[in-house]
Structure formats: structure tokens, C-alpha cells
Amino acid sequence: MSRRAPKASIDPDARKSWLRRALPLVKAHRGLLITSLVLSFAGLVIQVQIPNLVRVGIDRAIDAHTANLSTYVWLIVGFALAQGVVNFIARFYLLRTAYELEYDLRNIMYAHLARMPFGFYDRIQSGELMSRSASDIRSVQMYLTFGPSILVQCLIAVVAFVLMLSINVPLALVAMATMPLVALLGITMRKSIFPISWMIQSRLAGVAMVTDENIQGVRIVKSFAAEGRQLRSLAESADKVQWAYQQDAKIRGKWTPLLENLPRLGLALVLLIGGYMVINGHTTVGTIVAFNSYVLMLQPPFRLLGLMINLGQRASASAKRIYEILDTPNDVVDAPDAIDVPLRGDLAFENVTFAYPNGTVALNGLDLHIRPGETVAVVGGTGSGKSTLGRLAARFYDVTGGRVAIDGHDVRNLRLASLRDQVGIVPDEPFLFSLSIHDNIAYGRPEATRQQVEAAAVAAGADQFIRHLPEGYETVVGERGYTLSGGQRQRVAIARALLVNPPLLILDDATSAIDVTVEQRIHSSLRDQMRGRTTMIVAHRLSTISLADRVVLMEHGKVIADGTHEGLLATEPRYAQVLASQEAEEIDSLDIGQEVAR
């Protein structure tokens, strides 16, 4: 079943109220919603007829003995059955509207998040995004669908009042005497609840963020025996939510009983004044009974009115949090005249300057040219800007100054989808989905055959260990691929990139977690795969550097030396220092790993 695109979107005009911005989405589903509201109103009209039938039945069949009582009994039963059927259909259409609105809201949010550049995710935490994509969307959905339904339910007061006026005008005015005060209390309650509603949603996001970090980082937490500290952190966030909910409960506890019980004061007035009128012959007992029913009917709508005020304030706070995401501009987008061209892989960095969103300068006036089919190893100390080169080549970020060009085309003038189809990146910490090994390798080419997937796995040195898994290529890896070792994940990631067969391949320390002997076997396959393909290797090991035709040494965001491995060793002492320090770090990490294993 194919995914349905949202029928509408959120109005982009941030000057409008949150509700006006959401109206295009509601209008897109107006058929279902209006049908539900019309049927709901029809049910109310039927409902208010029942007390009137009771009045007429009492006055004519019991008091005056001018009609048959069973006639009114069957009429009441028929009206009640009709109301049940109508309300069932109305509820069905209302819930369907709610689910479709939620579907569209989630897809709008996800589509926007999918378009956002890496810099956006550098600034915002995943737990915050999860909260805004879940509880905030649900709050907005509930108000957009159940809000109009509650308003229709509140119309029973209008319909009942009209019927009461048609029966006895003075008594109708007495029954509705408390309503202006109810409206005033509702406005006051609305103003009091909004700040707390915003606080609740914000603090719920904080809990979601802590929970997400604990789940994603559970291995680190356990490694440092920090469960207690993390539980305390979660408890602190939960305490803040609890405090906010308590304030919300205090406000609702103060105002809601008044909203619900003021109509009962109208009931007392009806019994008092209506009883006096019956005694003096100005009305009938049936009228008092009917008015008693009408006043009781007013209580649920005003209870719902309190709920609607609460829903409205929660939805307002949630909508503004959602709009903060949707209104965040994407600064990495296709240019109006972006082109889609096949690339050979001639990669050039021309006087490139780049700083990350937090202000960290990664590249500073860098110049580098990699010719088509050439394999270049990029070497440098930590923070020298090596990994940034690949991110700029795939346009995960845009340069601060200068330009990155492939085949002479500024990457900002290439269509993003086309560019990223032709630039394959294997990061040092590969991410695997909770899918089968086959599906993870075929992620970039879902239509690939098993034979093609296996060929890519062989080239990446992954085929042998995959075949030893319980279900081979159909083995489902755990979340983020943690059921595999680090080296196995890296080999699957290399296979995933090779299957796409990009003309430009970037290996960002992609074999750092692979055993040296296994790495050597992979290199023999990679040499064949790199032939005729432009490859940039962010390297730390000498064995990896040996794959390259040329070595580039970086320091402080610039290229400070360029040549062959042997030439740089002979002429550039800083190159030897970097290799020595990296070799020492690798030995230390191996010693630590062996110590942990013991």
C-alpha cells in the first residue's frame, strides 16, 4: 500500500494565529468533519425532543386523560433509538477525521524533518523532536476534531433554550440565568491555563529527551554503572512535569466545579419558581418535569466546555512548538536553476572556509583537487577538518566561503537528490536499521537483486560473516545494528555504499573498527572497486593509506602537504608525527579493549 501524501499543509504565514494556520488542513477534511457535525447536531435535536414528549405525555395522558400514554412511551423509545444510531455514525466519522488529521500532521512534520540539513540536527535533540512529533501532534489533532464537536454539543443549550422559550418564556429565562456567569468563568479559566499548558508540553519534551538518551546510550550508561545517576536525572525531569500537572490540576480544580455546577443553580431556581407557578395555575407539572430535564441537559455541555478550554490551551501551546520546527528555514535546498547531470568525480575545494553551527571553524581557506579516478588519503590530527570534506562534498552543509565543485559544477547548483546519489559516504560510525542484512545493504537500491547484494558484501569483506549468521542475509540486526560488532557494521556500511556504485566514494575512517588482517582482505577487494572511481579516504592506519595514489596532510583546516606516502615521510616531519601519534592512539585503544575483555 503506497503512502498517501497529506491533503494540505500548514499555512506558512507566521503572523497568523495557530488556529488560522491549521485551517487549510481542517478544510482538506471538511467533508468528513461536516458530516460528523451535522449528524451530531441531528442527534441533539432528537435528544431535546424527548423531554418535550415527556411533558406532553404527562399533561395529556396522566393529568388530562385526553391521550393514550403508550403512544408517548413508544415515541420516546423510537426517538432514543434514532438518537443512538445517529450518534454512532457521527462518532465514526469524527474519529475517522481525527485519524486522518493526525496522519497528515505526522507526515508534514516528518517531510519537513527529512528536508532539514545536518546543522539543524546539530542544534536540536532527538528527544525534543520525538515529543513534538508525538504528544504535541496528538494535542493539536484532538482540538481540531473534538473542539468543533464539543461546540456542537454545546449547541444543545441553544436548542433547549429555544424549546423552553416556546413552552414558557419566564421559566426559560430563569433556567438560563446562570449562563452569562458560566461564560465569564470560562474566559478566566482559559487565560489561567495557557502558561501551564505550555510548560507541561515543554517539560514532557524534557522527559522524552532524557528517556531517549538513556535508551540510545544504554551501553554507555551500563559501562560506567551510571544507572542510578540517570534515574535521578529522569526523576528530576519527571518531578518538573508533576509540578506542572499539579498546577494545572489546581487551576482546573478551582474553576471546573463552578463551570459544571452553576447550571444546577438554574435547576433549583426552576423548581422554586416553577413550583410556585404550578401552584398558582400558571404552568403544568409536565412543564416542570421537562424543564428539569433541559436544565440537566445543560450540565454535560458545560462540563465539555471546561474540557474544550483545557484542550484549546494545550493545543495552542503544542501548535506553537510544532510551528517552531516547521518555521525553521532549510538553508540547504535546491537552487531554482539546479541541474541534474551525471558526474565523473572531479572534486575540487576552492578556498573553502567552513564553520559549524556552534561556531567551530573546521576549514579555513582550504584548496584541494582530486582528479577523476584518483584515490586520495586525507591524514591529519583530531579536529583538522578531515571528515568535514566529505560532508561538504555531499552538501550536508553549505560552505561559509569559497566553493566545492564536482566536474566544475558548484555543488550548490546541482540537484540534491542527484548529487547524493552520486556521492557515496561511509562514516566511521555507521548506522544500521532494524532490518535484515539484505535490506540494510540494499537501502540505497531497494530494487537490487540478492546476487547484486551478495556481490557488494563480498567486495566489502562482509559475505563470510553474514553467511555464518543464524539466517544469513535475512538475519535482522538489532536497533542501530548493535547485534553486530563494530567491524561488522562497518563492512555492511561499505557494502551498502558499493552497491549504489557512486562515481565519488568517501570512506571516513570506514575500517577503523576492523581487524588489521580482515582489513587487508577488504583492501584487496576495494582496490578493484576503486579502479576508475574517485575515492577520498580519511585515513589513520598505514594499511589504509597504502590504498591511495596520493596523500594529503591537513592541519587547522588547511592542506599543509600533498604527495605520495614515501615522499611525505622523507620531506615532511609533521606527517611522520601525525602517523606516530595515530599509531600510539591505536595501540592505546587496543590495550584498553584487551583490558576490558579481561
pLDDT value at position 215? Answer: 61
What is each CA distance from 118 to 77, 106, 348, 428, in whole angstroms? 64, 21, 22, 17
Is residue 406 within 8 A of residue 504, CB to CB? The reply is yes
Is 36 inside a domain boundary? yes
| pLDDT surpassing 60 at residue 589 | no
The stretches of 376-460 forming alpha helices (DSSP H) are 386-393, 416-422, 437-441, 450-459
- The chain-wide mean pLDDT, for the chain, equals 82
What is each CA distance from 574 to 209, 366, 384, 579, in whole angstroms? 43, 18, 13, 9
User: Sorting pLDDT into bands at 50, 70 and 90, what band is 480?
Assistant: low
Instruction: Please identify which residue in the block is written with the cell numbers 540494499.
Output: 442
Is 121 inside a domain boundary? yes
Would you state the cell numbers that stand for residue 490, as one nine-digit string?
562497518
| pLDDT surpassing 70 at residue 513 | no
Is 10 inside a domain boundary? no
- My answer on whether 483 and 352 are in the same domain is yes
| pLDDT surpassing 90 at residue 403 | yes
| pLDDT surpassing 60 at residue 393 | yes
Packing angle of the helix pair 285-326, 18-28 (nearest 10 deg): 100
pLDDT value at position 70? Answer: 85
The model's pLDDT over 329-373, given as tens digits with 9 standing for 90+, comes to: 888 888 889 999 999 989 999 999 999 888 889 999 999 999 998
Secondary structure letter of residue 12 according to DSSP? -
Secondary structure letter of residue 447 according to DSSP? T
Secondary structure letter of residue 3 according to DSSP? P
> Pick from 298, 306, 274, 304: which is nearest to 48 by CA?
298
Is residue 444 within 8 A of residue 181, CB to CB? The reply is no
pLDDT value at position 369? Answer: 94
| pLDDT surpassing 70 at residue 127 | no
Is residue 10 within 8 A of residue 323, CB to CB? The reply is yes
The CA distance from 276 to 283, in Å, is 9
Angle subtended at Cα 78 by Cα 76 and Cα 80, rounded to the nearest 5 degrees: 70
Is residue 441 within 8 A of residue 472, CB to CB? The reply is no
pLDDT > 70: percent of the chain: 87
- My answer on whether 362 and 391 are in the same domain is yes
Helix (H) or strand (E) holding 486: helix 486-500
* Over residues 556-567, mean pLDDT: 90
Q: Tell me the residue type at 480.
A: R
pLDDT value at position 412? Answer: 93
* Over residues 393-409, mean pLDDT: 93
Helix (H) or strand (E) holding 161: helix 135-167
pLDDT value at position 406? Answer: 94
pLDDT value at position 1? Answer: 41
The total number of structural domains in the chain stands at 2
The model's pLDDT over 273-329, given as tens digits with 9 standing for 90+, comes to: 878 887 877 778 888 888 878 877 776 776 677 677 778 878 888 888 888 888 888
- DSSP characters for 547-559? T-SEEEEEETTEE
The CA distance from 191 to 184, in Å, is 11
| pLDDT surpassing 70 at residue 534 | yes
* Over residues 383-406, mean pLDDT: 91
Domain that holds residue 427: 347-597
**Greater confidence, 277 or 181?**
277
Least confident stretch, 317-321, 378-382, 507-511: 507-511
- My answer on whether 317 and 384 are in the same domain is no
- My answer on whether 311 and 418 are in the same domain is no
Would you state the cell numbers that stand for residue 561, as one nine-digit string?
602537504
The model's pLDDT over 200-256, given as tens digits with 9 standing for 90+, comes to: 767 776 777 677 666 666 655 655 566 677 777 777 877 888 888 888 788 777 777
CA dihedral 32, 34, 39, 45 (to 10 degrees): 170
Is 331 inside a domain boundary? no
> Pick from 427, 428, 436: which is nearest to 478 by CA?
436
The CA distance from 314 to 140, in Å, is 8
Is 458 inside a domain boundary? yes
pLDDT value at position 392? Answer: 93
The CA distance from 454 to 442, in Å, is 10
pLDDT value at position 218? Answer: 60
- My answer on whether 440 and 558 are in the same domain is yes
| pLDDT surpassing 60 at residue 398 | yes
* CATH number of the domain to which 375 belongs: 3.40.50.300
CB-based contacts of 587, cutoff 8 Å, min separation 6: none
- My answer on whether 359 and 315 are in the same domain is no
Is 582 inside a domain boundary? yes
pLDDT value at position 184? Answer: 72
Would you state the cell numbers that stand for residue 318, as one nine-digit string?
503544542
* CATH number of the domain to which 177 belongs: 1.20.1560.10
- My answer on whether 372 and 479 are in the same domain is yes
**Greater confidence, 388 or 590?**
388
Q: Is 406 helix (H, G, I), strand (E, B) or coil?
A: strand
Is 522 inside a domain boundary? yes
| pLDDT surpassing 90 at residue 167 | no
- My answer on whether 299 and 418 are in the same domain is no
Would you state the cell numbers that stand for residue 345, as one nine-digit string?
568525480
pLDDT value at position 158? Answer: 80
Least confident stretch, 98-107, 135-144, 270-279, 559-568: 270-279
pLDDT value at position 516? Answer: 66
- My answer on whether 406 and 287 are in the same domain is no
- My answer on whether 220 and 316 are in the same domain is yes
Is 373 inside a domain boundary? yes
The model's pLDDT over 54-84, given as tens digits with 9 standing for 90+, comes to: 888 887 777 767 778 888 888 889 988 998 9
The CA distance from 120 to 331, in Å, is 10
Least confident stretch, 39-53, 403-417, 582-596: 582-596
Secondary structure letter of residue 478 according to DSSP? -
**Greater confidence, 447 or 487?**
447
**Greater confidence, 485 or 193?**
485
| pLDDT surpassing 60 at residue 597 | no
Phi and psi angles of residue 98, each rounded to the nearest 5 degrees, phi first: -60, -45
Secondary structure letter of residue 378 according to DSSP? E
The CA distance from 211 to 213, in Å, is 5
**Greater confidence, 478 or 236?**
236
Q: Is 8 helix (H, G, I), strand (E, B) or coil?
A: coil
- My answer on whether 304 and 368 are in the same domain is no
- My answer on whether 414 and 385 are in the same domain is yes
